[in-house]
Amino acid sequence: MNKQIRILLVEDHEVMRAALCSLLNAHEEFAVVGEADNGRELLGMVEKAAPDVVIMDINLPELNGIEATRQLVARFPHIKVLGLSIHLRGRMVSEILKAGAHGYVPKSSAAGELIAAINAIMAGKMYVSPEVLADLVETRTRAATGETAFVKLTEREREVLQLLAEGDSSKEIADKLCLSLPTIHTHRQHMMQKLGARGVADLVRYAIREGIISSDT
């Protein structure tokens, strides 16, 4: 018997995560070795779980899937990342691929496509669902209208922005990121200057527009 492909699921909706787990474990060639409901939890468990593939949602609490992918592939370049989300827009697909994901499948696709995508990226190929491919091509060929948050802000600023937009206080953010309160205030001021924001409400709107958090967070 060939070596099983070890899979770590990152999905914040418990029902969806359970369904994915059942689907994958029903195939002898796959073994689900861990589950996480946010990007920060993933980064804390990936070394012990030792997955071959991480199936990554985009809209995750605390650390979104795009930022988690970027940090994951920087630390563990041998691990394959497959984006799996509700997004059909080329922009969000493009961002997770630029972050280092090896493929993307929308949650609306059939189970067979997910299996095909995992096998493709394990074979060293990229896989992008036909359902999003046309919009992705259009997004990548369209003239840029400006820098996104993933270019304007530093990695730490993006982390602070997500937590701030999700309602955490500066003290709570400092505790989660193991930083001092003055450092959080400095990051906040830098973000507001870079984004032309006048207050937290502007930062939240920006985070939603850029896909750093979802509108129903």
**Lookup: tokens for 33:** 């070795």
Q: Between residues 88 and 201, which one has the greater pLDDT?
A: 201
Given a contact cutoff of 8 angstroms between Cβ atoms, the answer to whether 61 and 38 are in contact is: yes
Mean pLDDT value of segment 83-109: 86
Complete domains list, the chain, with CATH: 5-141 (3.40.50.2300), 149-209 (1.10.10.10)
d(CA 26, CA 3): 16
**Least confident stretch, 38-42, 58-62, 144-148, 195-199:** 144-148
Kindly state the DSSP code that residue 18 receives in the 8-state scheme.
H
Closest CA to 66 of 162, 185, 142: 162
Q: Describe the strand order of the beta sheet including 30-36 as a list of residue ranges.
A: 30-36, 5-10, 53-56, 80-85, 103-106, 127-128
Q: What is the pTM of this model?
A: 0.75
Given a contact cutoff of 8 angstroms between Cβ atoms, the answer to whether 103 and 126 are in contact is: yes
pLDDT tens digit string along 115-172? 999 999 999 999 988 877 766 665 554 434 555 656 778 889 988 988 988 888 999 9
Q: Bridge-partner residues for 9, per DSSP?
A: 35, 55
Q: Between residues 109 and 144, which one has the greater pLDDT?
A: 109
